[in-house]
Amino acid sequence: MMAKGVLLLADDLAMLEKANHTLWDRCADLEAELRKMRNVLPERSPCSRCGRRDGLDAAVDDSMWARISGRTDGGGLLCLWCMDELAAEKGLQHVPVRLYFAGRVLFSTPVDEFTDLGWSDSPL
């Protein structure tokens, strides 16, 4: 009877070890996918906080940047997700930002700059 119980326990342990190994494999797969998502545009500068490189940029005025980033020299680069998280942690609400996209060939431009591009009518 004792040997049968030990055998069942060994089988259960083997099944748990296999499940644990599978779980770790899945975690590694998810981490690899997350790295890919954070580096959609590897030629872009990374966020100084999380390392994301996605080409989505936001501009805020200098005083708001100092409040969000904690930097008073106007330097640094934070992705939108980190800017939003830091602003929320500091209790800021409804922070106005100007959003930009810088892809491989597409780039955004403020609506008031369309005439500078030679467009007679704004497409927006």
pLDDT in tens, 32-54: 776 666 656 666 778 888 888 77
0.75 surpassed by pTM: no
Which residue intervals of the chain are DSSP H helices?
2-38, 62-69, 80-89
Does a structural domain hold residue 43? no
Task: Give φ, ψ of 91 to 5 degrees.
Answer: 80, 10
pLDDT over threshold 70, residue 6: no
Does a structural domain hold residue 48? no
Does a structural domain hold residue 122? no
CA distance 52 to 121: 35
Q: Are residues 100 and 73 in the same domain?
A: yes
Question: 75: helix, coil or strand?
Answer: coil
Q: Are residues 13 and 65 in the same domain?
A: no
Does a structural domain hold residue 50? no
Question: 39: helix, coil or strand?
Answer: coil
Q: Are residues 67 and 113 in the same domain?
A: yes
Q: Are residues 30 and 75 in the same domain?
A: no
Number of folded domains that form the chain: 2
Q: Are residues 113 and 70 in the same domain?
A: yes
Joined together, the tokens standing for residue 76 give 């640094």
CA distance 69 to 50: 13
Does a structural domain hold residue 71? yes
Joined together, the tokens standing for residue 47 give 């966020």
Does a structural domain hold residue 66? yes
Q: Are residues 20 and 61 in the same domain?
A: no
Does a structural domain hold residue 13? yes
**pLDDT attached to residue 117:** 47
Q: Summarize the confidence of residues 82-89 as an average pLDDT.
A: 94
| Residue matched to tokens 């998280």 | 85
Q: Are residues 75 and 27 in the same domain?
A: no
- Structural domain boundaries enclosing 89: 56-117
pLDDT in tens, 86-120: 999 999 998 888 888 777 777 777 655 445 445 45
Q: Are residues 65 and 32 in the same domain?
A: no
CA distance 78 to 87: 11
